[in-house]
Structure 1
Amino acid sequence: MDEETDTPEDPRREFAEECRSARELHDPAPLTQAQLARLVRTSKSTISRLETCHGAIPPDLPPLLDEVFATDGKFKRLHEDAVTASFPSVYRRRMAMERVAVTIREWSPTLIPGLFQTADYARCLFKGGYPRASARETSAFVNDRMARKALFDGDMPPDVRVVLCESVLRRHFCPPEVMRQQLKALLTAGSRPTVRVQVLPMDAPAHLFIECPVSLITSPSHSVSICVENYRTAGILEDPDLVRAALRAYDELTGDALPTRESARLIAEQMEKLT
């Protein structure tokens, strides 16, 4: 991983220090690690690891800490910063843009996009790409991937538009039950009022994005950035001519893709074949 940082603070260490400080200064009386663990429904050893910067932060803990300490989302924000800081700089920038985006348009020719992956699907994906990864590395990857989903739970979640190649639904690199649960999760996500999922048939004509996944992220100022990925590399493009061409190509994709209801039926059919 790239170890450069964008700010002098280490977000993971700041999270640890804030957790320890909030526990020790808790009103009306300080909390022990064991007492805090009971309040957030975890183990004392987990709290100890949190406060000593050992391992990833379990994604379900920050909102519980905010609830216990009445910190108005502080631990949730620190967790997001810590997750972002664990990635190379270009990915950190992409994830920062996602967190404030008003619209995210996704195209994937091969995989369920990261924002919609289940933990088991993400684990199979990581182990396939990094077969020598340790259990700790795999767990950290999965936790970080799940943490990205927090943007759906904010007060103003972005509008998310997803177009998947039909082959994504038929590519079963994981056990059938894992894929079935992944497709079920995709259907559930598509039922959100801010999410639209479409499937591009495999006999659709060629298009600008046919070779790689692409994300078009619209900022609060309505500027659009193009995020492209290839073999373990990524880039962010903001040239106005490229952005216009990409938006036009995405519109063509959505026009060639199945409508959302037909897409949902196709996803459900593929899910049922896995039972």
Structure 2
Amino acid sequence: MNEETDSTGGAPGAHNPRRAFAEECRSARELHDPSQLTQTQLARMVRVSKSTISRVETCQGPIPPDLPPLLDEIFTTDGLFKRLYEEVVASSFPSLYRQRMALERAAVAIREWSPTLVPGLFQTADYARCLYEGGFPRAGAKETSAFVSDRLARKAALDGNMPPDVCLVLCESVLLRRFCPPDVMGRQLKALLDAGSRPTVRVQILPLDAPGHLFSDWPVTLITAPNHTVSVCVENYRTAGIVVEPDYVRTALRTYDELTGDALSARESARLIAEQMEKLT
């Protein structure tokens, strides 16, 4: 028998981060010191419409991704709304994706390889939108907007006080692929350059003439937890897997080391990305 669900999609009595976000927003607004705020007043302070605040407080539609930090700032809630928002985003994915995102949020190191696309952690909004519209041409505007918001929310893993060390290796073909307009791809390449300039991020490009390897056919992410255990996340069409068996993990780590050895250096990779940007202008 299917378990009964409430209006926000959760089982009665179960922790529902979307409902928790709504209740905390309404409570913080009504208990605001020195005086209660109306929805209109709060909307003006966070630069959104009153209807947006109303929808947030009644669990209708997605939460704007730039709203949680503004609420934390106004109500001095020490990251409460940001944490709840991350839970909301994570709960919107199937269980394996939720598990993967939980691993990302807690990671001390992330090693990522992609043979075809810029991975989600580094995607711009326009790039993500083109990707989704290409894969789901019948999707409506709301579905597309929700996907882009979810995708951008994952970047929170890189923006905390103690971000993980990240190594990203991309096949050179990722720079050449033209599924989006040149200006969109140009901004995406600029975002990659900006990411690579961070002290905790290294971006490398694997040349087209590099030797074949175990990961040639699919994207792979190796996520190191605070206790130094490593999970290997593999994605394919509508499927995902998380591998933790020691033998497979060791093989994956060795393969990733080979990839970084065959890839261009971070400096050479940045130069190649910049050259490709110039070709798009």
- TM-score normalised according to structure 2 size: 0.95
Alpha-carbon displacement from aligned partner over 1:36-90 (angstroms, at most 9, x marks no partner): 0111121111111111111111111100000100100000000000000000000
Amino acid at match of 1:56: P
In 2, the alpha carbon distance for the partners of 1:239 and 1:152 equals: 27
Partner SS for 1:273: helix
Does residue 1:100 correspond to 2:106, yes or no? yes
Partner residue of 1:68? 74
RMSD: 1.1
Out of 165, 186, 193, the position equivalent to 2:192 is: 186
In 2, the alpha carbon distance for the partners of 1:9 and 1:135 equals: 29
Post-superposition, which runs of at least 4 consecutive aligned residues in structure 1 deviate over 6 A?
Answer: none
Does residue 1:138 correspond to 2:138, yes or no? no
Does residue 1:219 correspond to 2:225, yes or no? yes
In 1, the alpha carbon distance for the partners of 2:150 and 2:31 equals: 29
* 1:40-189 map, 5 Å: 40-189=46-195
Shift of 1:153: 1.6
Unaligned runs of 5+ in 2: 1-8
CA contact 1:37–1:43 (8 Å) conserved in 2: yes
Shift of 1:4: 7.8
Q: How many residues align?
A: 272
Does residue 1:19 correspond to 2:19, yes or no? no
Partner SS for 2:280: coil
Amino acid at match of 2:44: R
Percent of aligned pairs sharing the same letter: 75
Amino acid at match of 1:138: T
In 2, the alpha carbon distance for the partners of 1:42 and 1:181 equals: 26
Amino acid at match of 2:228: H
- TM-score normalised according to structure 1 size: 0.97
Does residue 1:243 correspond to 2:249, yes or no? yes
Partner SS for 1:204: coil
CA contact 2:10–2:16 (8 Å) conserved in 1: no
Shift of 1:16: 0.6
Unaligned runs of 5+ in 1: none
Partner SS for 1:212: coil
Amino acid at match of 2:38: T
In 1, the alpha carbon distance for the partners of 2:127 and 2:249 equals: 31
Does residue 1:270 correspond to 2:276, yes or no? yes
CA contact 2:203–2:266 (8 Å) conserved in 1: yes
